[in-house]
Structure 1
């Protein structure tokens, strides 16, 4: 039997499971999603996205992928028209076919590194003290997956729930609504039309397909064990409306009842539940999908922090505490709507009273907040501030799935104090500036700590930020301050060994490292990512190798992505920046660039007699021309106080007749640094050159012990250089510690140039 290891197994690749997979990957957790279906669904049953879900999708940078969506501010409560307009960027409800939502979430999760196994059905669960073992049946036979946690996102008939024997209290269905998408019919639109014999709903989409839903007041009790036939909805529709739809072609038909159940506990040790696996409800008003997606976002960041060892002990338990209460309230309003919608003539007086109440603004706002999810508030502390625990609609993207500290102080001292207090959590929380008084809807907040799910965890107002309340909130929702990350030191002549260093020095920064799929460039990219930077790993041709670098960085909890463009050819820099800016915008919301490392280069390795004009031009095109135009093109992207580091060579100081042209090209690179340093100084941007000596770069010569020994003698330290030796120097120059160093030539050759 094949065996697979993972941090988390998600059972179910519907929208909720895929949303959770993406959230977990953003937090650095390893994820496998298993799904019994071999292909994604073709049935767009859940198509309504409410305002709170739209805000979440926008925060993760996913909303643009949907394109233009139909939008209606009018919804309903139990079939009674209800204006859903509330303050926020996405009032009302938006329509997106489930197949589209699922496809977008799948692409997103897979692009972040989630693994999806379709055609794999869960058959058994074995719980251990420190792991869960999932037995899965797949096309290639049985598979055993050992994981630290399993999450059931497998719908109202959850296999995970059944195998676990989890208590699922509630009520069975007593009434049912049959629905279908039917092509080839032309019937009047009906919006929750209550007729003598039942309820009828009909709406035609732009593709000409009509969604039909019907409930008979004296119809079946809702205990179906499978989907109905087309004849069932055809006959029910005729009995209720008198219309004949038998000539139509059904795309799909199903029925749902008014069953209402909710797990007693959303967490059972190492097994958790989200979406319809955690709660069963009638999908009235599209609330079921939105409730499930919001479950996934609440759980994802908490479980990821827990898995990566950065969460406080009880953080994962807050998932049940918060979402179980939300589920109770949503199911309550759905039950009320079901009674109003599916009840017979006896509910008409109640409907009339409610219709009158909805015309009063406080009642309308109350119901609109309940339906849209905009009224959800968690109990984050006991201070009672009306914004604490509520969602905060803001313009700052949270594509990384990290927390957000929004700083709206107008005073530089307050800015500095806030940032210094939050600095130890910079691996989990991004600090961004905002305009004063921009953090409504309440007047006065000067700073707000926002959890990764968009809910407010701390507020400062009316004065300087108090360090202790902010520290307490960070401890509660983000765990203890970061331990230092990795750096390296050396002992004697031996290869460097690992030690710890600050992970947050470059947190929130973005970096481009050219030629970083191997050798020194790979070492630099890895080092900058360990410091907290989002790194664009550039390669000319070896995309799989660059992807392996990204995977290695992400495994350590860092962030990176691949950009591919061949340098030294026409259009090279333009192609590079198209890919770079797209990657940055997808992950940060802007194309801002903080660090540029011009590392890509080609060696000559030919004698003076064998140096042709073509070889000469190639050396200068890659080693000098490309870095010049990379810097020129980056001028619009580089932030104030940015860093540019050019990787030169010790051969600009030591003669080697076989590398004259190469040394000339690297000398030109040093001149680029010198003159750009003067040009960019008014913007606080530093430009420096780093010159490695003999450094392991993947060349076969380093596999020959005798050759390595001879090369080692050229260094004052008696060893050859390692990529991390150079990377550590670059990391220093990229940091604020090097703010007073510009136009410099840094000898990173291990004393080779001492003579």
Structure 2
């Protein structure tokens, strides 16, 4: 008889990633941006403490910037000088991050892990892969965990588990190439003081030494003519101590090694990066000597190329052949990188026989075209994919300057500067609104001078260009089909945009996080958010992952306190000040808003608008003056209307607008007639704008709070609170968070099918 305790645990997911190094974590984050449920399994119980790969090249820095990751690294040392086989090479090329940047691998992994987990990826450390079984419609993987074996069922499995890939071994993937002939032993050693050496070629070998600000010296050594050791273990400190003495004559035996390892010049590449439902990225797909830090960067760029394609495949949105283009594009890039690394290894580790070649190459590098060619190859900035016919220099290349932070979606950038042109682009791209955003940009800010519009893949590469005036829709539609699949029906775009959310949240495993950061990557404006309901809304949206503009009319200190509260909770926010209800109010508001968004995201895109700011009347009919009446309508009606009107140029496809109304539109209070009239007008905004904005899949709704604790002294009087509580069906007064949770729902993808609605958030006060 088999008991419940004997049933093997099972995890169901859409993609399982094997390996939680930088490549696996980068891929997990990219898949989550694409709305895919992902589980990462890693045999190591704890993150590595060895910073083997520490160089980030310019293209990787651009990618990290486009995902908003650079802040997590803090200040990074930068040096424009790199090398080619130990020969100095200036890596400067046009772009925002010239040269190479130094970040310990432990820091890179920590930043990527925090990002992937914040997006909802699941990480299982201490789980080693033991078997892989391929089926026509899924992959079954078994891992051994601390509590025993666990079976994982997924649509796809990706091996990101390094040069000794278990996935590669279990699947029998063909891995042609050559074995190692030479090796470089390296270690981080504390407590030694030796001269710095940058690729110093001595009589007996190559020596490299660099001291960190923390006082730790990284040493690397190769003895000319020595063959790579056939190791069954990592080298020990004695190995590098003895080799260092033989090559340099220096004694480092008194130092304390933090870690020791070696790398060799083995060079192999998978024949195919895709084997049905199993794919490979990083060192699992290609083995090379990590000269100049190219290996890490190559792997991270594999992950970014694969992530959005696999996400579309899982969501049944991928056009034919898209997933196979991962192999076509990245195998060619990998082959080229391996070739230049092999050349560098020969120049770097060869003995006296390579000196003549080194002298010739040093002379050639002094020629600018040669320098640029080699710098482009090492930095990854010269990668250009075959994206179809056309001879424009940008086609297939990465968009280098000012590429805005996006959430793993395509980007159609309008640089023409004409409202009618922008509208035509939006209409043409509307059926792809679940996969592609449409934005306007100044040409000089994104490097598009002389170009009217470009379509950019989620990995930053340009796939369509218009540069001869307003384009017709046919070429653009063809490009959208080629890279983003068949269009969705317009009345289903919002639903399909969040299909993956439904899949990943229906019957979630018990261990899943409840807070899935539904608004990660979104931007929000909440007017009147320095206190009360507005503050609660701002804090709630920030907890969901949105970057929130906290608006105030006068109380800047209170708004700054809201921002501080959000940031202390791990969120992002900034203050915008503009008095509403006065001439020029909306203009001033959006000047501050767009500046704040641009500084933080590189774009002025806005995803969520909450019109919460308002003023109460609080006077009898007899005491209502024309000035008071006009002031109520200026703040409560005119400002929201023109805020929405002005926001139309910033709002993204699938955006959200929420207007805060009042239960007084349904519940009589003679002292608030004029105020109730303004809120009735606000509700009309939702009704009529809903139909106007529907073609862009923007929803707009009204939320009507009832009696809600707002800081008024009356809420300090227990008897008054008890009397007000009796008006609610729940027998209590409302809290600002009660309303904020309703607004957060309407701002989320879950509310895609609600628009033009009046939502009673009065706690049942309006039941009568």
Name the stretch that deviates more: 90-99 or 376-385.
376-385
TM-score (norm 2): 0.73
Q: Could you tell me which of 636, 641, 647 is aligned with 1:639?
A: 647
- 2:296 corresponds to 1:289: yes
- 2:219 corresponds to 1:229: no
CA distance in 1, matches of 2:455, 2:479: 8
TM-score (norm 1): 0.74
SS of the residue corresponding to residue 344 of structure 2 reads: helix
Residues 410 and 591 of structure 1: is their aligned pair in 2 closer, same or farther, counting only changes over 3 Å?
Answer: closer
CA distance in 2, matches of 1:143, 1:637: 54
Correspondence 1:37-56 to 2 at 5 A: 37-56=44-63
Partner of 2:452: 446
SS of the residue corresponding to residue 61 of structure 1 reads: coil
CA distance in 2, matches of 1:108, 1:402: 17
Residues 18 and 502 of structure 1: is their aligned pair in 2 closer, same or farther, counting only changes over 3 Å?
Answer: closer
Residues 57 and 669 of structure 1: is their aligned pair in 2 closer, same or farther, counting only changes over 3 Å?
Answer: farther
Partner of 2:93: 86
Q: Could you tell me which of 119, 123, 126 is aligned with 1:116?
A: 123
SS of the residue corresponding to residue 242 of structure 2 reads: helix
SS of the residue corresponding to residue 226 of structure 1 reads: coil
CA distance in 1, matches of 2:416, 2:303: 33
Partner of 1:582: 572
Name the stretch that deviates more: 176-185 or 459-468.
459-468
CA distance in 2, matches of 1:691, 1:207: 55
Deviation at 1:412, TM superposition (A): 3.3
Residues 310 and 588 of structure 1: is their aligned pair in 2 closer, same or farther, counting only changes over 3 Å?
Answer: farther
1:199-231 CA distance string (max 9 Å, x none): 000000100100000000122334222210101
Residues 677 and 121 of structure 1: is their aligned pair in 2 closer, same or farther, counting only changes over 3 Å?
Answer: same
CA distance in 1, matches of 2:753, 2:677: 16
Deviation at 1:398, TM superposition (A): 3.0
Deviation at 1:141, TM superposition (A): 1.3
SS of the residue corresponding to residue 731 of structure 1 reads: coil
Structure 2 contact 139–153 (Cα < 8 Å) conserved? yes
Q: Could you tell me which of 19, 28, 50 is aligned with 1:21?
A: 28
Task: Report the aligned-residue RMSD.
Answer: 4.5
Residues 277 and 594 of structure 1: is their aligned pair in 2 closer, same or farther, counting only changes over 3 Å?
Answer: closer
- 2:221 corresponds to 1:214: yes
Correspondence 1:329-478 to 2 at 5 A: 329-436=336-443, 440=447, 444-478=450-484
CA distance in 1, matches of 2:263, 2:408: 35
Correspondence 1:549-698 to 2 at 5 A: 576=562, 579=566, 582=572, 593=606, 595-597=608-610, 639=647, 645-649=659-663, 652-654=665-667, 668=675, 671=678, 690=702
Residues 548 and 593 of structure 1: is their aligned pair in 2 closer, same or farther, counting only changes over 3 Å?
Answer: closer
Q: Could you tell me which of 706, 726, 732 is aligned with 2:756?
A: 732
Deviation at 1:470, TM superposition (A): 1.1
Q: Could you tell me which of 320, 324, 339 is aligned with 1:317?
A: 324
Structure 1 contact 597–647 (Cα < 8 Å) conserved? no
CA distance in 1, matches of 2:201, 2:561: 59
Structure 2 contact 700–755 (Cα < 8 Å) conserved? no
Q: Could you tell me which of 69, 81, 97 is aligned with 1:74?
A: 81
CA distance in 2, matches of 1:664, 1:99: 63
SS of the residue corresponding to residue 755 of structure 2 reads: helix
CA distance in 2, matches of 1:600, 1:116: 42
Name the stretch that deviates more: 582-591 or 202-211.
582-591
CA distance in 1, matches of 2:61, 2:267: 26
Residues 637 and 65 of structure 1: is their aligned pair in 2 closer, same or farther, counting only changes over 3 Å?
Answer: farther
Name the stretch that deviates more: 256-265 or 424-433.
424-433
Structure 1 contact 690–748 (Cα < 8 Å) conserved? no
Residues 414 and 229 of structure 1: is their aligned pair in 2 closer, same or farther, counting only changes over 3 Å?
Answer: same
CA distance in 2, matches of 1:170, 1:505: 43
Residues 81 and 654 of structure 1: is their aligned pair in 2 closer, same or farther, counting only changes over 3 Å?
Answer: closer
User: Would you say how many aligned residue pairs link Structure 1 and Structure 2?
Assistant: 628
